[in-house]
Structure 1
Amino acid sequence: MPTSTSRSQVLNLAILGYLAQGPQHGYALRKALNLSLGTFRTLSYGSLYPALRRLEADGLIESHEDPKIPGTRRKRITYSISGAGHDYLDNQLSSAGPSDWEDGTFDVRFTMFSSTDSATRLRILEGRYARMLERREALVLWADTAARHADAYVTELANHGLDQVNAEVQWLERMIEEERAIQKPTPTRRAPRTPQKGSQKEKASQQGTKATGGHQTTSREPIKEN
C-alpha cells in the first residue's frame, strides 16, 4: 500500500495530468479522479483542496476566480496548470521507478501513457509484470498452506486473488508484446541496384558492333596512287 507521502505525490501527479488537458473546477476534477482512478475513489474535498493549494504555492498550477453566479453565495474557482507545472509533469512522465508499478501509482501512470514515451511505458509495464509474478507466487503458497490446514474460506479467498492476478498477468503480457512491437524497427528494403552507365566511347563501340552484325570495323585511309 502507498504511504501517505507517496499517495500525496501520486495525487499531485494525477491532478497535473488532468489539468494538462485543460482548466477545471474543483468539483469536476474530483469527479474525474474518482471515476477514472481506483486510487482516489474515496477522494474527499478535504484531501483535494489542500493538494491544490500546495501545488499553487509551488507554482505548478494557477487559480482563477470565476464571475459569481446569480443566486449562489460561493464563487467558483478554475484551476489550470502553469508553465512550470508542464515542465514538472514532463519530467515526471519521462522517468520510472519501482514505485510506479505498485498498486494505485501504476493506475495513474497508465492513464498518462498517451503522454509518455514508449521506452518509459515499456519499463513500467515490465516492472508491473514482475511485481504481479511475485504476488502470484505468494498467493499460490498461501492457498497451498490454507488447503493443508483445511480452511476452505481462506483457500477460496487465496484462489480468488490468484484469479485476479492471473488475469492481470495475461493482460500485461499482451500490453508488453504490443509495446515491444512499437519499438521494433521496421526493416528497410534496399533499392535494386541499377547498372552503371558506360562511357560514351563504350556506347559508340557497342553501337558499331551491332551495326556490323557483331564484327567491329576499322576505318581505312584510301590508297594513294603514285
Structure 2
Amino acid sequence: MPKKFSEQEKQWISKKLFEEGKRCFEAAGLRKTSIEDLTKACGIAQGSFYMFFNSKEELFYHILLEEEALIRNRLLASLNRSELVTKESIHQFLIESFRLLGESPMVRQMYLEGEFAQLVRKLPPELLEHNFSDDADALIPIIHHWQAAGILAHTKPELIVSMIRALVLLTLHKQEIGPGIYSDTISFMLDIVAEGMYAKRDLGGEIIR
C-alpha cells in the first residue's frame, strides 16, 4: 500500500516529480524514461507515483503545458500591436513560433522525436482537447490584430488557429520531408502562407487578390 503523505510532503513530491520529469524527458525522452527513474529521484515507491499522476504520459503532458505556456507568453510579448501588419511581420511571427518550439527540448521531444503518437494513445481525449483550447486562447488576440488590419478579415479565427496548428504538426514529418532540406522547406512554405494571407487582405471592403 502506498505511503500516506502530509500536504507539505505532497507539494514537495509533486514539485520534485515535475523537476525530475523535465530533466529525464529532456535527456532521454518519454519512451526511455521509466516510472522507476522518476520515483527513485524523488525517494518514493513506484506505487506512490500514481497518487500524483495516472501515467508518465500525464506527467509529460503537464510539464509540456507549462513549457508551451511560456512559449505562448513570449510570442504575445513580441507582438507589437502598434506596428503595421505586413507580409514580413506575419512571416516573422510564424518563423519565430517555429524557432521557439524547436528550441524547447520538451516540445522537440514531442514533435521531432516522435513522442506525439504515444501521448495521443495514452492520454484521455479531454486532456488533449484542453491543450487545443489553450492554443486557441493564446492565438486569438494575435489573429484579431491581423484581422483588424484586414488580414483574412472574414475568416473564422478558429480556422486560422487550426491552420497554424497544422503547420506546426508538419514537424512530425521531418524525416519524410528530408532532414537536409527540412528547414528551408518550412521557411519557404511559411513565406508562401504569409504572402497568401497578406494578398487577401480586406481594405475598407475591397479584398486585394
Could you state the TM-score of these two structures normalised by the residue count of structure 1? 0.24
Larger helix percent: 2
- Provide TM-score, normalisation by structure 2: 0.26
Q: Which has the larger radius of gyration?
A: 1
